[in-house]
Structure 1
Amino acid sequence: MARSLTPVLTIAASLTLALAAAPAAGADAGKGAAARAVTYEATARFQHHPNAVKAGYVPDKYCVVNKEGPGALGYPHFNHALDNSVDPAKPAALFYEDDGRGGKRLVGVQWLVYDRDQNLATDDDRPRLFGTAFTGPQRGHFPGQPVHYALHLWLWKKNPLGAFETYNPAVTCLPGTTRPPK
């Protein structure tokens, strides 16, 4: 069954206008709200999962759970051509969850920036976006991934812990969808 993107685009446009027009507590807050509106608008088309794949986001077949507590990331989709982007319209990763109908629903996004000196003990190059510092530096999560900084944004599904937390306890992985233990 084909779904129309009209409601999603209408919501994204409304949020863009509301966030851009909202009074800000300070310059960073205003910039952060405007940047978030840009992210809503830029990622709205990825609500339709095939659009993300066509745009170069490669799906991981496994759902990622938080091994240290509640919640999950969902299914990451990376576009490594966008690594090192701090453009709010160009996240390096999209996160999806199962929609209960055999499809995927976009829930969050992530930016990933490589650490300049690849030293976990220094952080003088920590990037910021939306007035928020990236987490890290942290080791790569797969062979060949450099030491990096990351910023998650739960834009399409509310995270009760906060919009920029790494894991979202409102996101779950279905049984049998997570990476088997080594």
Structure 2
Amino acid sequence: MRTITRTVIGGLVAALAVGAVALPAQAAPAPDSSSTMNKLVASTRAAVARFQQVDAALAAGYIPVSECTESPEGAMGIHYMNPALIHPGFVDPANPPFLTYGPSGDLWAAEFFEPEVGQPTPMYGSQAFDGPMAGHGPGMPTHYDLHVWVGKHNPAGMFAEWNPSLHC
């Protein structure tokens, strides 16, 4: 599955990136206030509430693209991608292109993703995405991403890449 899904994600994202070069750059970030960011995270949490179990994500067009990802720093989970939600240059807090789940199928995080196409660093409110970074597998493009831990508490922080309290 790993080789097939990496090829699928690489091909889909590459096709989206090629067609997205003409999109406008990300708008200026929202004012940096905890109230503004709390509202933004709450809107993402509310939008993904219907995806608490992986079966709901599958029914909505998300497809599995990784095994459960873990490192000495913690876990990210199993990544599910909805290719229709990848829009370089536009971040929609209510429609994360990726969701991550634990091995038991419970939602861990929303993940925002943009292929790198020469745009400014994408922003989720006042929080910059991580990157640009090389793809994590064959065919995956250089990209930006940001985890938002709306399903499980992350003691390392709401936007940390790894969650040290979770394991595969």
Fold-level similarity (TM above 0.5): yes
Aligned partner of 2:126 in structure 1 is 131
Structure 1 counterpart of 2:109: 108
Which of 161, 166, 173 is the matching residue for 2:156?
161
Is residue 60 of structure 2 the alignment partner of residue 55 of structure 1?
Answer: yes
| Identity among equivalent pairs (%) | 37
One-letter code aligned to 1:71:
G
Corresponding residue number in structure 2 for 1:98: 103
Within the candidate set 70, 74, 78, 2:77 is matched to: 74
Whichever of the two has the greater Rg, that structure is: 1
- 1:142–1:61 Cα change, 3 Å: closer
Shift of residue 27, structure 1, vs aligned partner = 5.5
Q: CA RMSD in A?
A: 1.7
Give the deviation of 1:40 after TM superposition: 1.1
Q: Where do 4+ consecutive residues of structure 1 move more than 6 Å?
A: none
Does 1 or 2 have the higher relative contact order (CA < 8 Å, sep 6+)? 2
* Aligned counterpart, 1:8: none
User: TM-score, length-normalised on structure 1?
Assistant: 0.69
Aligned residues: 136
Q: After TM superposition, list the pairs within 5 Å mapping 1:23-42 onto structure 2.
A: 28-42=33-47
Output the amino acid matched with 1:115. Answer: E
Residue 154 of structure 1, CA deviation: 0.9
Cα distance in structure 2, aligned partners of 1:149 and 1:61: 17
Structure 1 stretches of 5 or more lacking a match?
Answer: 1-25, 118-123, 174-182
**Counterparts of 1:170 and 1:155, CA distance in 2:** 14
Cα distance change on mapping 1:50 and 1:56 into 2, 3 Å = same
TM-score by length of 2: 0.74
Where does structure 2 lack aligned partners over 5 or more consecutive residues? 1-30
3-state DSSP class of the match of 2:67?
A: coil
